[in-house]
Amino acid sequence: MHLGFGTTVVMAIVGLIGVLAWRVREGRTAVTVKKIVIPPLGMATGFSMFIVPAFRVPWSWAAIAFVIGMVALAYPLLVTSRLVRDGDAIMMRRSNAFFIVVIALAAIRFFARDYLDTYMSMEQTAGLFFVLAFGMILRWRMRMLFEYRTLTAHATA
């Protein structure tokens, strides 16, 4: 089943609004190791999609997508967010550009997907974007974990 362009745009916008709302809500509470580690672990279950042959892509494509996510697309998230100590709590501090970066990344994904759908199946495109997003989130969360450990080590020293 292939959705119409209008439906795809609406679904992408609804998804983007959901992500932005989640990020606003998440930014109001203290950061913990669980809050850093659980999202990538939960997301990793998505690799089960590759059990279905329609989602499979060559290993080289997946590796390239993962590296692009870790290097190029994670970078804007890394420079627009950091952890800071606020009393006894550790909080996520985002620059005003953070949400612009999230919107720009969503737009890049939307338009690149449209292009890639002409060369591969919709399922393969979904699989590649999942691997790309996983690389991006994994690097961002790893950096957050290192920052968190640094901030908590200084508090106990």
Burial class for 153, CB neighbours closer than 10 Å (0-12, 13-18, 19+): exposed
CB atoms within 10 A of CB 69: 24
Identify the residue with better confidence: 42 or 117: 42
- Quick one: pLDDT at residue 23? 67
- Quick one: pLDDT at residue 156? 60
What would you report as the CA-atom Rg of the chain, rounded to the nearest whole angstrom?
A: 17
Tell me the pTM. 0.80
Domain ranges of the chain: 5-156
Asked if pLDDT for residue 53 goes beyond 90, the answer is: yes
Mean pLDDT along residues 48-60: 95
